[in-house]
Amino acid sequence: MQRFHHYKSMALGLAIGLAATATSQAQSVPGCVTGVSDHGVERFSVNGLADLEQVTPISTDTVFHAASLAKQFTAYAVGLLAAEGKLSLDDDIRKHLPDMPDYGDPIRVRDLVHHTSGLRDQGALLHLSGWRPHDRVTRQDALSVIQRQKSLNFRPGTQDLYNNSGYTLLAEIVRKVSGQSLADFAKARVFTPLGMTSTRFYEDQDVLVRHRARGYRWTGAHWEGAQPALEVYGASNLLTTAKDLLAWQRFLMNPPAKEATVEWMRTTGRLTDGTPIGYGGGLYISQNGGRQSIGHDGLDGGFRAQTLAFPREELAVVTLCNDADADAGYLARGAADLTIPSAAPPADAARRELAGVWRSPETGMVMRVEWRDGRLNVPADRWRFDPQAEGQPPLLRVLYDPLPSRTYEKVTAATPADLKPYAGRYRSDELATSYEVAAKDGRLTITWPRMEPMALESVGGDHFVGSSLGGVTFTRDGAGRIDGLELSQRRVWRLRAERLD
List the chain residues with pLDDT less than 70.
1-26, 288-290, 341-350, 400-404
Delineate the domains of the chain, giving CATH numbers in brackets.
65-118+153-339 (3.40.710.10), 352-410 (no CATH), 420-499 (2.40.128.50)
- How much is the pLDDT for 384? 83
- How much is the pLDDT for 392? 77
Digit-coded pLDDT (tens) for 427-463: 999 999 999 999 999 999 999 999 999 999 999 999 9
- How much is the pLDDT for 162? 94
First to last CA, the chain: 48
Pairing mode, strands 22-25 and 41-47: parallel
The CA distance from 173 to 111, in Å, is 13
> Which of left, alpha, beta for 91 (phi over 0: left; psi -120 to 50: alpha)?
beta
Q: Is pTM, for the whole model, over 0.85?
A: no
The CA distance from 415 to 215, in Å, is 41
3-class secondary structure, 499: strand
Pairing mode, strands 238-240 and 291-300: unpaired
Closest CA to 320 of 242, 235, 387: 242
The CA distance from 366 to 277, in Å, is 23
CA angle 235/241/242 to nearest 5° reads 105
Type of residue found at 26: A
- How much is the pLDDT for 16? 42
